[in-house]
Structure 1
Amino acid sequence: MSLTERLTIDMKQAMKDKDKVRLSVIRMVRTAMKNLEIDAKRELSDEDVITIMNRELKQRRDSLQAFISGGRQDLVEDANAEIQVLISYLPEQLSEDEVRAIVKDCIAETGATGKSDMGKVMSALMPKVKGRADGKLVNQVVSQELQ
C-alpha cells in the first residue's frame, strides 16, 4: 500500500473516530501533496510524500521552539500532537551513530580531507539518508567528522 493510499484510509478512520488532530494533520499533508501534484503535473511517489512530511515536520518543530520560548503551553501541546502524527508516517529515523557510520563511509568514498570538501560529502550523503535523518543532525555530524 502506498503512503498516499494509507493517508486516505487513515483520514477516513480519523473522521469516524472524531480525531481532530490526526484529521487536520492528514488534511494538511494531502493539501500540500495536491499542490505539488499540480505544480509537477504528475502523480507523486512515496518519496515525494515523505519529502512533504519532512518539510511539515520541520515547520512544526520550528513552531514548537517558538511556542516554548513564548511561553504558550497550549500551543506547545498542539504542536507536539501534530509532530507525533507526522512521525507515525515517516520511516524509522537513523540514530546519530548510524548517521556517523554513513558519513564516514561517504567521506572515504569521496576522499574528503577537510571542511572545504563538505559540499562534496553532503551531495553524496543526502540521497542515502533522505527521509531517514534530520538535515541538521547530518550537517552537524559531517562538520565534526571533517575537522
Structure 2
Amino acid sequence: MPVLKKQITEAMKAAMRAKDKALLGTIRLILAEIKRIEVDERIELDDQRIITVLDKMSKQRRDSISQYDKANRTDLADIERQELEVIKTYLPQSLNDEEIQTALEEAIVATGASGAQDMGKVMAELKPKLQGRADMGMVSKLVKERLTR
C-alpha cells in the first residue's frame, strides 16, 4: 500500500476514534475518490497519482469557494474551506514563487525550449516536479509568458 494512502487511512481511523465528523467526512471523500479511480482503472494508485487526485480535489474546492462567495453563501464556502484545509495536509509543501521560477528556468534549459510552440515540452518537464506543490494553471501562465518574451 502506498505510504500516502496508508497515512490517509490511519487518519480516518483516528478521526473515527475522536468522533470528529467533519474531518472523517472529508477523509472519506478522499478515500472514495482514490478507490473510484482504482476500481475504474483496475490499478492501485501510487503516491504520485494520489497527489494528482488530491491536487484536483483542492482545485475543485477553490473553485467552489469562489462560486459560493460570489453567491453570498458563506455557510457553504466555509464547509469547502474546511475540506480544503484537510486535503492540503496530505499535499506536499507548496513552493514559493522563487522556487517555481527556478524550476521553470531549469525546465526551459533542459528541454531547449525557444518559443511558445515548445510550451508542451516545458509543461511535461515541470508537471511531475510541481504537481500538488504549485497551482498548475498559474505555472502554465508563467511558462507562456516566459516563452513569448
TM-score range, shorter chain: over 0.9
Query: Which amino acid letter does the alignment assign opposite residue 123 of structure 2?
Result: M
Question: TM-score of the superposition, structure 1-length normalised?
Answer: 0.92
2:127: which partner in 1? Answer: 126
Distance 1:25 1:103 in 2: 33
Give the CA deviation at 1:52: 1.2
Distance 2:128 2:47 in 1: 15
After TM superposition, list the pairs within 5 Å mapping 1:1-147 onto structure 2: 2-146=3-147, 147=149
CA contact (8 A) 2:4 2:50 kept: yes
Distance 1:142 1:51 in 2: 20
Q: Which moved more, 1:93-102 or 1:106-115?
A: 106-115
Q: Which moved more, 1:82-91 or 1:34-43?
A: 34-43
Give the CA deviation at 1:92: 0.7
Question: TM-score of the superposition, structure 2-length normalised?
Answer: 0.91
Give the CA deviation at 1:109: 1.7
Structure 1 gaps of 5+ residues are: none
- List structure 1 segments (4+ residues) > 3 angstroms apart after TM superposition: none
Q: Any idea what the Cα deviations from partners look like across 1:103-126, whole Å, max 9, x if unmatched?
A: 111111222222222122112221
Give the CA deviation at 1:44: 1.8
Give the CA deviation at 1:128: 2.1
CA contact (8 A) 2:111 2:121 kept: yes
Q: Any idea what the Cα deviations from partners look like across 1:12-57, whole Å, max 9, x if unmatched?
A: 1112222222111110111111111112212221112111111111
Q: CA RMSD in A?
A: 1.4
Distance 1:122 1:25 in 2: 31
CA contact (8 A) 1:50 1:90 kept: yes
Structure 2 gaps of 5+ residues are: none
Q: Any idea what the Cα deviations from partners look like across 1:50-73, whole Å, max 9, x if unmatched?
A: 111111111111100100111111
Q: Which moved more, 1:124-133 or 1:45-54?
A: 124-133
